[in-house]
Amino acid sequence: MTNSIIKRILSAIVGYFLKGLIFIAPIVLTFYIIKWLFESLDKILPMTIPGLGILIILISVTIIGYLGSKLISQPLFNWFEGLIGKTPGIKFIYSSIKDMLEAFVGDKKKFKEPVLVKMNETGLMKIGFITSKDLKILSKNELDGEFLGVYFPHSYNFSGNHFIVNKKNIIPIKANSTEIMKYVVSGGVTEIN
């Protein structure tokens, strides 16, 4: 066999291996992440029946959520938050976690207005989400009405940057914000329905 034939065979083998990896890796990684989460949560309440611990946790959290929304009055909740608010360190941790969770799943969802933002004159654009329209906290008059707060999530990561953007550089995206977030986080490889 000549070197060119061997190179073509090896190239074909490597190509098929990579295609197989593309098919298998997402399935295997998804399975192992779900398995790891399931086992980690199930170990919180050690039970002899696998899955019973996680079922009890899910039911308990749901019941607490129901009771919290139906029975616990707003003044009691405000008192609790006020108590936490007076504790340095704990206030920062609690409010950061609460704000982040509310931004994704709470009543005050923040990532519901996807936009394209012109980044320069060459036509480069980034996908972001309007998070704040009132910027009076930053400046008394200079930013009022002309600029918006836009969050730009990073691809393949659960982090991002927040920029103050002039309204003239923002183009609204008429699509489901969850699909747009998936699209950005996946690096643009997820199809938008």
User: Worst-scoring range by mean pLDDT, 102-106, 128-132, 152-156?
Assistant: 102-106
Which residues are registered as beta bridge partners of 129? 114, 151
Task: Tell me the three state secondary structure of residue 154.
Answer: coil
Residue indicated by tokens 């000549």: 2
Tell me the domain boundaries of the chain.
114-185
Residue 118 scores a pLDDT above 90: yes
Rg (CA), the chain: 24
Which residues are registered as beta bridge partners of 116? 127, 171
Condensed to tens digits (0 to 9), the pLDDT of residues 134-174 reads 777 776 666 667 888 888 888 877 678 888 888 889 999 98
Name the CATH topology of 114-185: SH3 type barrels. (2.30.30)
